[in-house]
Structure 1
Amino acid sequence: MDLDFSILLNVWPALAAGAATTLKLTGAVLLAATPFGVALALLANSNRPLVGASIASVSWVMRGVPPLLILFFCFFGLPQLGITLEPFASAFLAMTAYMAFYFAEIFRSGLASVPAGQWQAARALGMSPLRTLVRIIIPQAIPAALPGFVSHATEILKGTALSAAVAVPELTSAARRVFAVTYKPFEIFIAAAIIYAFLDGLLLCIQLIGERWADRRRNRRAG
């Protein structure tokens, strides 16, 4: 096998540009899907059975549909309804819709991990439901939800590769274009894999930092 990793010096700008697009798409989806996930989790835990059942049903459907199908619907299907989106916007919408329901399940589990007595104690102290949620419940739910949240964040990072199917110039798409020019698949795709692993490692570092912060916060509350 004739390997030539020196070629990476010439194609690095193209791979770096693809990695930047991957990070941009990952960050945009995280920023959008997280608050939607929180809202869905709160609705699912509401005292209205019809609302909770509706959210659970839609969540079951969305999490059961392949994300590539949702992407194709946003890019190819929405124009038939008069809504035409650019490739990046289509990928953003599809991944946000898909991940919001996964995040909702994670946040719902985190909220469920907080003992019901916390709500009762806050009510006895005269705290409003919103204040109780923000000051008491959510800070205790974060440590339980954080590992699953970061785990799915890495899935967003890797899932951006699907957007190459609608011509978003992310890392996988960039690697494929470079390969078509250089005919060096081993070197190019190994380099792309290393970049993905590096970015994934950054997210894991953020998880560790977040867990330590949550532990310190919990210890201060306990003290």
Structure 2
Amino acid sequence: MQSFIQNFLNLEIYASVLPYLLQGLWTTVWLSAIVIPLGAAAGLALALGVTQSSSRLIRYAIVTWVDFFRAFPPLVLLILIYFGGPFLGIELNKVGAVVLAFVLNNSSYFAEVFRAGLEGVDKGQMQAARSTGLTRAQGLRYVVVPQAVKNVLPDLVSNAIEIVKLTSIASVVAIPELLRAARDAQSLVFNPSPVMLAAMIYLALLWPLTRWLGRLEHRRART
């Protein structure tokens, strides 16, 4: 037991590496704050294209796009964009490459969630909106989309939580997010305690969201 505490719960090491890990946490937070809204917006646009377009070609193209990026490993995608992009004349900095890879990946998951929400809204809602004088675009904006978001809010929160955890792959291009900071600290102190501390920080960050998600799912199950 003493050996376990020394290697994983070493308070002296926790105190020494905490400032460095908090810097990594800040990187995780601001990176998540960028990619989650962008991914959600892109996913909503894709979902609207699938559910509202009258062109079978457009719908098929969007479905193919979504299926491809849902199946493609995000880590490989990031490596291809950052390290392979220059061979195609596309040079992005580290943050740009991570944001692009994450948005391509998570927008496909958001698209499926939004599609389910949009298809779950009764078609009579749009007809009622149009009867009040709203255009189709206004009906979507003020009537259909808000109801769709409400219907799938637990799934949207769940996606957001997964994206926060997914930011750890940004370490591949040397962005010092939380897990990268913990691994760097581990290599300096020759002790895995920094990684355990990082896990505790992730837990403290995501636990309130998971509890909120549980309440949302419980509320949805009761309706």
Shared fold per TM-score greater than 0.5: yes
Picking from 164, 178, 194, the partner of 1:157 is 164
- Structure 2 stretches lacking a partner, 5+ long: none
Give matches, 1:47-62, under 5 Å.
47-62=54-69
By how many angstroms is 1:127 displaced? 2.4
What is the aligned partner in structure 1 of residue 185 from structure 2? 178
Per the normalisation by structure 2, the TM-score is: 0.88
- More displaced stretch, 128-137 vs 168-177: 128-137
Give matches, 1:3-152, under 5 Å.
3=6, 4-45=10-51, 46-152=53-159
Give matches, 1:196-207, under 5 Å.
196-204=202-210, 207=213
Q: Aligned pair count?
A: 213
In structure 2, give the amino acid aligned to 1:143.
K
Distance 1:90 1:206 in 2: 31
What is the aligned partner in structure 1 of residue 199 from structure 2? 193
By how many angstroms is 1:109 displaced? 0.6
In structure 1, give the amino acid aligned to 2:29.
L
- Structure 1 stretches lacking a partner, 5+ long: 216-223
By how many angstroms is 1:207 displaced? 4.8
By how many angstroms is 1:205 displaced? 5.8
Q: Percent identity?
A: 35
Distance 1:203 1:83 in 2: 37
